[in-house]
Amino acid sequence: EELQGDKEVTLAAVAQCGTAIHDVSTELWSGREFILAAVSLDGLALQYASDVLRGDREIVLVAVEQCGLALRYASEVLQGDREIVLAAIATEAEDEAEWLFEMVLEYVNEQLWFDREFVLRMVERNGWMLQYVRGDLRFDREVIFRAVMADKLEFPVDCTF
């Protein structure tokens, strides 16, 4: 129990076995430095951070770069941060597991789908992202063009824009 409060021992244990994170003392979880180190080893450790630290941009960015699904535990504001969301998506895209990518999308703040730059980057990655686009961007010629080009989507002959 005494070792649970030792930062170095705890981080070494977490590095060896991610489930060791459950045994960390509450005092360690309140420290920014400890959380930053923990999420660099296991991005999902963000779930144990305080609300304040879940809203810390640097900590969240490190967490989602380690595990895109950590976006789930980020503050609502940071779930709408373009750079953080794109980092989370890029992390899961590397694994090429489509279901992980789709899980990350569940935690994207709805407002990002109104952001033209974000939408363009998403449809370039996967044309089917058009289904998430909101507002006037759904009818934006460049957005549609990039989506079609990304996946070489085919539209029925009678489809008009």
Q: Are 81 and 108 in contact (CB under 8 A)?
A: no
Q: Which residues of 38-49 are buried (b: 16+ CB within 10 A; e: fewer)?
A: bbbbbbbbbebb
Task: Encode pLDDT of 118-135 as tens digits.
Answer: 999 999 988 888 999 999
Q: Are 118 and 93 in contact (CB under 8 A)?
A: no
Q: Are 133 and 105 in contact (CB under 8 A)?
A: no
- SS3 labels along 26-38: HHHHCCHHHHHHH
Predicted pLDDT at 102: 81
Q: What is the mean pLDDT of residues 99-122?
A: 90
Altogether, the residues listed in the chain come to a count of 161
Task: Encode pLDDT of 139-160 as tens digits.
Answer: 999 999 999 998 765 555 455 5
The residues, ordered by sequence, that sit 6+ positions from 42 with a Cβ below 8 Å of its Cβ are 14, 18, 21, 66, 67
